[in-house]
Structure 1
């Protein structure tokens, strides 16, 4: 009889002990959909819709449609990869195993910098609360909220997933109220021009909004904590993105069509909502819609955002103690601290929302380009794993989606790079230089670790003596 891959290896080898093995399988389909919807709807729509209106006027709803289509094209092969190979920190693990370990580490390192987006959500929350009472300072609101959810996530994914379902219901009610009242107030006869700044600017807005629509990928990072990842990841990613896309269009139409463009361009949704919602409903939209959407995204990002670095630390890229998982709560507390520092820094130093959003969108495009290629490589490098998957793609469709996704990601990334300011370039350059230095120094150790683990896994599959 063959030995299970979870059995102890043969004598003479040391058992594989990884921090991620202390994570708990506690997330159900409902929890996965809650995390997915929260991550998509969250801070993106309430922080970037006004920015997109400034770019493309009445075309903001078209930009959302283009963004959703592009994200779904990438999400299908991404979901196929995640369903076949569920793991903690998939963005690192898949890239490291299917492309190269150094590429996996550098992708995880870059995505960690992207957690500066926590400031984006916090600053957006500050803008909405400031609309209620000018006493609220946007930067302090951002730092306070990130701090609160950093502490909350130390309690573990069970608490976070359950809280996420409740938040999802609240914000769907909030945005449903905005859409229902707002659509009835749109004067369709004089709806603003769709492309006042040209087609390229419309595509640039769609590229920016891809960050607001691509949040479902975060659920794939939690494969190690799901009860049925092969089924739940594709449903949460693809279904969640399509559902939220409809909600986005219903919100974007009145956002651009009720007031003159110059009054809503670059402004939070609370500005136009005040025009058509009774005061009580306006407060409900801000608190149950916008604020809950923002904090739910913070919650979800802190829930999955550590997983790639956790997997990287297990392979030796970072000190193993840095990836330690608290055995009581099942959370990587030191990695959460790192994300917390990265998350509050942009708000603390005064970086603008549009700059944070642009940088985060670029990182998402890079991630999609890398991982859809990895999804195709899985078919050839680990064919047995792919064949066992409950979600497989025909080869022709798979290849077509990968080529389309890579082309879209590269083009959207190119459009977004034009909006980088000097601070963004410096931050990315310094962060990547540190990452490359770590990769060069640690690769020999990681290579040895991975080789030893491969021997242990082969030994564990030997027949019993």
Structure 2
């Protein structure tokens, strides 16, 4: 049963010392990294569509369900991140607990999650930039701002921002973190401007009916907006570049989730309290609400904040994908030459370039609605495997060092599995079909290449 062989925590720690990724982040950096990726697409893009089509004003409950689910997951992730402080997040956790095959499937789905998610965010970034320039009187040609399926030739702004962030990620994690903190500050300022301007004019009659699509709509809304909570896994991929991962990772994961939950619910309440939910079916709902209230300058400010917000999401998603690839290549499941470390910048520059080109091509030529929902299913699958893995490690290695111990581990793990499973159940059948096709392709690659080239396989032989 070599497909279920595991990799020891000690091996991962030795790998981390040997690969020389630079430890440059503290607890605040990790928290800002989490806020950078969680607060973005969910607030600035998905809230309007999810309220109009799925949950109505009860989208507040959808965010609460998604947040509670992530809270259970965060507790298990924090224990795993403190035990196995290496790049790879859920992939590495699966490898140490439930075995190589499940680790590969988790890693393979993380690849899909991040590439598809980053492409969708790049498309949203382009839409906000084009809209902001149009408001200022500069209208870009549709042929170069729209994908072929929507009547254009190429979404050039999406490609340009992707390639710029690729360059930034190659230069190093310190530079990327500095830019991320600045952009997160701009984004949070934009959100507070929105709450300050639109908060006083909330009309609670707009919350009636509160649950127009029933609880089924609330559940479907939670499944759709779960895209926003990819940050929990993205943050965990940074463990190998954190100064004190045993302390900084749990703080960063839990603090970023708490901050983002409060912001999401507040923005949703103000948004649906100012404009009837039926009118929010737009890709820029926050700016739309301010325009409806007559705050055109405020709308432009929030639009600028949205651009900053989506930039941070794209940056962290691309960062996380390169680290997932890096962890898999180090274990021999994909060719190691692809993830060579740059001698000057101490970053996996080759895979960063490959990821950047792939995301640029997808975002430049593919409609974002075709691929966005795929992100949620891959993330939820990784969360479930991690929740199982943390219990397995408690039983297999009860004396292992755990700088952070998840309280009531069996209860917390079970709640994480059940809540993730419930949200997965509410995803569309088309999403499930794509998930199974992608997983089947991953299994073919594993049995054709990864199983034979695995470092664990060489150790056994």
CA distance 1:17–1:380, shift in 2 (3 Å)? closer
Query: Structure 1: how far apart are the matches of 2:267 and 2:450?
Result: 48
The one of 171, 174, 180 equivalent to 1:158 is 174
Partner of 1:211: 227
Distance in 1 between residues matched to 2:18 and 2:48, nearest whole Å = 40
Kindly tell me: are residues 209 and 414 of structure 1, through their superposed partners in 2, closer, same or farther at Cα, counting changes over 3 Å?
A: same
CA RMSD after TM alignment: 2.4
Q: 1:375 Cα deviation (Å)?
A: 1.3
Residues 390-432 of structure 1: per-residue CA shift (max 9 Å, x gap): 21134xx111111111111122112113363xxx845x55543
Spell out the pairing of 1:327-346 with structure 2 (5 A cutoff): 327-346=343-362
Aligned 1:29-428 pairs, distance under 5 A? 29-54=27-52, 55-114=54-113, 115-134=115-134, 135-136=139-140, 137=145, 139-269=155-285, 270-276=287-293, 278-287=295-304, 289-353=305-369, 355-385=370-400, 388-394=401-407, 397-418=408-429, 420=431, 425=433, 428=435
Following TM superposition, by how much is the alpha carbon of 1:454 offset from its aligned partner in structure 2, in angstroms?
8.3
2: distance between equivalents of 1:274 and 1:257? Answer: 15
CA distance in 2 between counterparts of 1:344 and 1:430 reads 23
Identify the residue that residue 152 of structure 2 maps to in structure 1: none
Partner of 2:149: none
What whole-Å deviation, never above 9, does each CA across 1:131-179 have from its counterpart, x for those lacking one?
3234342533222221221121111111111211111211111101111
**Larger mean Cα displacement after TM superposition, 64-73 or 376-385:** 376-385
**1:20 Cα deviation from its structure 2 partner:** 6.8
Conserved? CA contact 2:32–2:181, under 8 Å: yes
Contact preservation (8 Å) 2:234, 2:320: yes
Could you give the per-residue CA deviations for residues 210-243 of structure 1, whole angstroms, max 9, x where no partner exists? 2213413211111111111111111111121011
User: Structure 1, residues 427-463: CA drift from partner, whole Å, max 9, x if none?
Assistant: x55543432122112355345x2266589xxxxxxxx
Task: Check whether the contact 2:338–2:351 (CA below 8 A) recurs between aligned residues.
Answer: yes
**Is 2:439 the partner of 1:432?**
yes
Most deviating of 365-374 and 102-111: 102-111
Change (3 A) 1:345 1:361: farther
Task: Give yes or no for contact 1:86–1:229 (8 Å, CA) kept in 2.
Answer: yes
Shift in Å, 1:17: 6.9
Distance 1:34 1:233 in 2: 12
* Unpaired stretches in structure 1, ≥5 consecutive residues: 7-15, 456-465
Q: Report if aligned partners of 1:181, 1:276 keep a CA contact under 8 Å in 2.
A: no
TM-score, normalisation: structure 1: 0.86
Matches of 1:20 and 1:175, distance apart in 2: 42
- Larger mean CA deviation between 39-48 and 332-341 belongs to 332-341
Matches of 1:182 and 1:79 in 2, distance apart? Answer: 36
SS in 1 for 2:196: helix
Hey, what's the Cα distance between the residues in 1 that align with 2:126 and 2:327?
34
Q: Runs of 5+ in structure 2 lacking a partner? A: 1-9, 147-154
CA distance in 2 between counterparts of 1:130 and 1:263 reads 21
CA–CA distance in structure 1, aligned partners of residues 372 and 105 of structure 2? 21
* Aligned equivalents of 1:17, 1:402: Cα separation in 2: 28
Instruction: State the alpha-carbon separation in 2 of the partners of residues 68 and 246 from structure 1.
Output: 10
DSSP 3-state at the match of 2:249: helix
Count of paired positions:
431
CA 195–381 in structure 1, closer or farther in 2 if over 3 Å, else same: same
Is residue 20–residue 88 contact of structure 1 (8 Å, CA) maintained in 2? no
**Match of 2:211, SS?**
coil
Deviation readout 1:247-282 (Å, 9 max, x if unpaired):
111111122221233321244122112123633322
Change (3 A) 1:206 1:328: same
Residues 433, 338 of structure 1: alpha-carbon distance in 2 compared, 3 angstrom cutoff: farther
Counterparts in 2 of 1:280 and 1:438: CA distance versus 1, 3 Å: same
CA distance in 1, matches of 2:86, 2:389: 14
